[in-house]
Amino acid sequence: MLKQKLKLLLVMALAAGLWSCQDADTAKQTELITPDVELTAQEISNARLTPEVLWKFGRLGAAQVSPHGQTVLFTITRYSMEANKGVTNIYSIPVEGGEPTELTTNETNDFSPRWRPDGKRIGFLSSRSGDVQLWEMDANGANVAQTTAIEGGINSFAYAPTGDRILYTKNVQIEKTTKDLHPDMPKANVRITDNMMYRHWNYWRDGSFSHIFVAPYTNGAIGEAKDIMEGEPWDAPMSAYFDDSEIAWSPCGKIIAYTCKKLHGKDYAVSTNSDIYLYNVEDETVENITEGMMGYDKYPVFSPDGSKIAWQSMKTPGYESDKSRLFVLNLKTGERSYLTKGFDQDAESVSWSEDGKSLNFISGINATAQIYSLNLETKEIAQITNGWHNYTWYAPAKGMLVGSKMSMSMASELFTINPETGEEKQLTFINKHIYDNIKMGEVTQRWIKTTDGKQMLVWVILPPNFDKNKEYPALLYCQGGPQSAVSQFFSYRWNFQIMAAHDYVIVAPNRRGVPSFGKDWNAQISGDYSGQNIQDYLSAIDNAKQEPWIDENRLGAIGASYGGYSVFYLAGMHQNRFKTFIAHNGMFNFESFYASTEETFFPNHDFGGPFWDKKNKVAQRTYANSPHKFVQNWNTPIMVIVGENDFRIAYSEGLQAFNAAQLQGIPSRLAVYPDETHFVTKPQNAVVWQREFFGWLDKWLK
């Protein structure tokens, strides 16, 4: 349900709260945001991660290597707790290393930096003049100038490699609004629809769609733009993530490849069939190159000579977490090749080598995310990087790779990687001042035997200054997704280090249903939510509590989304293992969830179908094991957290669970965030979240 793509959605949700409409020329008339960066004397003395310290981290954002391969552009977002928002600025750093240069100031939010193909200027998005527009500056940050003044602003942009064209995306009103239908009722506030997908993840449909525009471009001047999707009622990039990596220019600057799900209403809700289209800028023709491929097809990337195009493809219709396969199409011969057919892992973030003879990609393996290469001639796949970390982005840079790496103990930083040896060198040190003063807990790994005789990887994170002679309370972390690995991620909410800093041992199993352990391990969970993965949770905590340094009488279980469902389900069958629970935005009643969520293809695949299909044995088994069917067994204190703008799992799911606990006299607490979604992204909301989270745990486990 969440998978790794939610990282993109989280960035978008953050950005929605970050990008203020400030004009650089009138900055004196507006409050200047001063980000919280330096640690206080008390925080240094404490030497542990706290919610306040967590929000002093600078957050690495979008990065791009210059055309000459010598310089990297990137963004850093920093937050002000007092202002309750953040500010994003653009930096550059030489690939060989050195001090970063701040190219924009903290007076406005400047983001999505892109090198102009000649490397002389940098384009970026900014809300300096009100709506988000394209601005440009010299490579050293000088001579800043506004390039577009498009009504309503733009969402993304990309220069053609030839430098003579540019594309941008913006919202276009296609369908009529209530005011169009009832012009004599201008104060009416009502949403009217005749079809599904009237809301998606965290926003209500308003009849507008993201469209791609292409225009001539000459040294900062943009000519008349054409909407290449004129009149079409669908989005490119696709909602709800609007990831501009779904759009690509050909090297010749004459073709735009874009991803689109050209379906509407109910058809959109029940299908994952997206396709890749090639738009010819000169003759305005459109070709669907993935017609007949019925799952997700996304992220087109042209080869350096433009003769081939690669993309990610999923085979199974309606299965959003299917294996991500690597395909290449020879545009001259029409030959389509499935390059990772015998490779039992995903292939994501695909790119071409500079000579076009190989492809690189990121793939999960044993709950880490590594960079791989694939030789096009031999079809051999080689793993480039190794270690307990996640690479989330990379790009070629003059025979090297530059990548963004994180771990459970380190927020994202830029590294260079030798593609031949895998040797890494850290480029940025955004949060060194924090790591120098805050002690992290040790991350350990263990493989345990499951109830069906398989081996499962479990991360166990120990408190700072861990003492094996002491007894600690422990938390079973239940992962969301469900098809999302408990990998080496650094989260700004579900952060294992901040839990460890509160003197909890964290037990984080990669239970059945997560990727990076082969297709079968990932797929097993569908139709079996109450089965093997629940036993995997219990196997993990039962194994860990045998350690003398874990107090088996002080165990808690926590989780969000599918992890929230897991907590609700465990509450009805845990046989008194746990002393408390915390569930954030979890599914409580499968029938009400099915009828209220928007991407219906998800429960159709993972539940087995709708609850009214009485002949469907898989579906009926799923609904028979909905957590609300076992609420009479609840006897353990529970905290429930929801966001009112979460349309993926409606907040009423959490209200049902809280009410059920209250009516049975079970100690319970409800936290409702009216302006949050599936995530909690606003700084002060997030700090309150952490305080309430640990306040509840400490009350029942310490």
Round to whole Å and give the CA distance between 314 and 520: 15
Round to whole Å and give the CA distance between 349 and 122: 23
Q: Is 221 helix (H, G, I), strand (E, B) or coil?
A: strand
Report residue 483 CA to chain centroid gap: 13
Q: Is 115 helix (H, G, I), strand (E, B) or coil?
A: strand
Round to whole Å and give the CA distance between 603 and 677: 20
Asked whether 627 and 565 are in contact (CB, 8 A), the reply is yes
**Cis amide leading into 482 (omega within 30):** yes
- Among candidate residues 508, 363, 372, 351, the one with its CA nearest the CA of residue 441: 508
Query: Which residue type sits at 312?
Result: Q
Tokens in use for 356?
A: 């076009």
Look up 678 and say whether it is catalytic: yes
Round to whole Å and give the CA distance between 289 and 278: 7
Look up 433 and say whether it is catalytic: no
Half-sphere exposure of 638 (CA within 13 A, CB side): 32
Round to whole Å and give the CA distance between 486 and 198: 32
**Strand 368-375 relative to strand 358-365, pairing:** antiparallel
Q: What totals of helices (H) and strands (E) does the chain contain, helices first?
A: 15, 39
Which of 80, 561, 566, 668 is catalytic? The answer is 561
Task: Please list, in sequence order, all residues whose beta carbon lies within 8 angstroms of the beta carbon of residue 200, skipping any fewer than 6 positions away.
Answer: 239, 240, 598, 599, 647
156 - beta bridge partners? 169
Q: Is 441 helix (H, G, I), strand (E, B) or coil?
A: coil
Round to whole Å and give the CA distance between 480 and 566: 9
Task: Please list, in sequence order, all residues whose beta carbon lies within 8 angstroms of the beta carbon of residue 665, skipping any fewer than 6 positions away.
Answer: none
Look up 646 and say whether it is catalytic: yes
Cα distance between the two ends of the chain: 34
| φ, ψ of residue 13 in degrees (nearest 5) | -65, -40
Asked whether 119 and 67 are in contact (CB, 8 A), the reply is yes
Furthest CA-CA distance within the chain: 75
Residues that are catalytic? 561, 646, 678
